Amino acid sequence: MKRLFLLAILVSCFVLSWGVPAYGQDCSGADRLTRHIYNPDRLVPTEKGCITVTGKIIAKVPEKDGDYHYRMKLDPGQGSGLINSKNNTKKHKRFLIFEPICIGKVTQKSAKRACRGFHQQITLPNKGDRVSVTGLHILDKEHGWLEIYPVTKITVLR
């Protein structure tokens, strides 16, 4: 499964390099980032590939694996299939997760090796910020929700 995930990343990068971008987005560097994902077998790329979405940050949670889980309320008109029923909670309705990787302190033993010697250099927005986020659209089988992971670009919108 890890090989399938890496193959999907490489195919996306190959397509992008030929000037036929998946959904018109740039996920260059995603293949490099996948080397720092622990347990990649839990991730299944969707047919959407590399996407960019906009919305408002409704939660920012540091995780034990060194990633930040961001919950974003999508702006209207982003299209269908970006979220599923698991992207709903009583506290946060209809959110999309995105995760910058290896940002914080890694205390989860299974993630230490993946982040060793690496810290993703990326903009970290705050709760309430409106952002544009680019990365690979995937299904996280462990949680059951759809998310953007790994994130290749974050822009805080004014």
β-pair partners for 44:
139
Residue ranges per structural domain of the chain: 2-157
Question: DSSP states of 3-38 as a string?
Answer: HHHHHHHHHHHHHHHTT--GGG---TTHHHHGGG-S
> What is the pLDDT at residue 25?
64
Q: ∠ at Cα 154 (140, 127), nearest 5°?
A: 80
105, 12 contact by CB (below 8 A) = no
> What is the pLDDT at residue 16?
35
How buried is residue 99: exposed, middle or buried, by Cβ count under 10 Å (0-12/13-18/19+)? buried
SS3 69: strand
SS3 67: coil
Fold of 2-157: OB fold (Dihydrolipoamide Acetyltransferase, E2P) (2.40.50)
DSSP for residue 131: E
Q: Which pLDDT tens digit goes with each residue over 61-97? A: 999 999 999 999 999 998 789 999 999 888 778 899 9
- What is the block-wise mean pLDDT of the chain (158 residues), using blocks of 10 residues? 50 36 62 88 93 96 95 91 91 90 94 94 96 96 94 94
Task: Please give the Cα distance from 91 to 58 (Å, whole number).
Answer: 10
β-pair partners for 139:
44, 146
